[in-house]
Structure 1
């Protein structure tokens, strides 16, 4: 299998002063290719992202420098989660920014690392929290864990 590695060359404003990271490790009984694809395929993202919410729209430009928008409905308000892909190394690594521009111009960074194991793959998600959000690491980890469990159900 051929692996492609892409990196974004220009610098963007990211959180570099994070006090704490939210880290989740999750084992899937499916291939790393399928798990990786679930992150960048709009139809799949619609099925697992925000399992307790009401996802309205998913737009993805799956290239380095490309952006995404995941809009979910919460208490009657649309929340637009936006980001930009910084690294794409299929099927091992995906790095992107993550933010809600209506709430703050700052963007956090999320690293997805996927390693093939005997029974499938192990995914490690590291969300580099913005300093103002560092106290929310446990809630952030639980939210990502819920989404990964929903992804697992969709892919299994």
Structure 2
């Protein structure tokens, strides 16, 4: 994995629910099915939520299955989740996603940092919007 990155896509989102519930929504396959890729058609979610475990999120785009895969590097419930992110059939490039969650008086604040591979740095804004849409869908699903 190339860990050098030119650009990070960063999204900060505030939830009115506990950090435990938000964290669990990131690793529970049934919950992920409800919020991941809200503008697409999610077909399948497989999650082995342990350090060294992997995930596969498959969505349907223009009749083609896109398999987003990664490996969990850090699982520190309910504060931090770190994993790799890539689409192996499309590119061997891999990114790293870091999710930090802190409790607040009214719920929690999630900061998602997607460390983009240098070849994908032009897509930072688009990546931020995609994650923001997914976090909004998660919020709707959990409330």
State TM-score, norm by structure 2. 0.99
State the aligned residue count. 143
State the 1:17 CA deviation: 1.8
CA RMSD of aligned residues (A): 0.5
Q: Which residue of 2 aligns with 1:153?
A: 140
Which consecutive unaligned segments of at least 5 residues does structure 2 have? Answer: none
Q: Which residue of 2 aligns with 1:34?
A: 21
1:136 counterpart (107, 123, 131)? 123
Q: Does the alignment pair 1:46 with 2:40?
A: no
Alignment of 1:99-138 (within 5 A): 99-138=86-125
State the 1:146 CA deviation: 0.1
State TM-score, norm by structure 1. 0.91
Q: Does the alignment pair 1:85 with 2:72?
A: yes
Which consecutive unaligned segments of at least 5 residues does structure 1 have? Answer: 1-12
State the 1:45 CA deviation: 0.2
Runs of 4+ in 1 over 2 A off after TM superposition: none
State the 1:106 CA deviation: 2.2
Q: Give distance in 2, aligned partners of 1:27 and 1:97.
A: 23
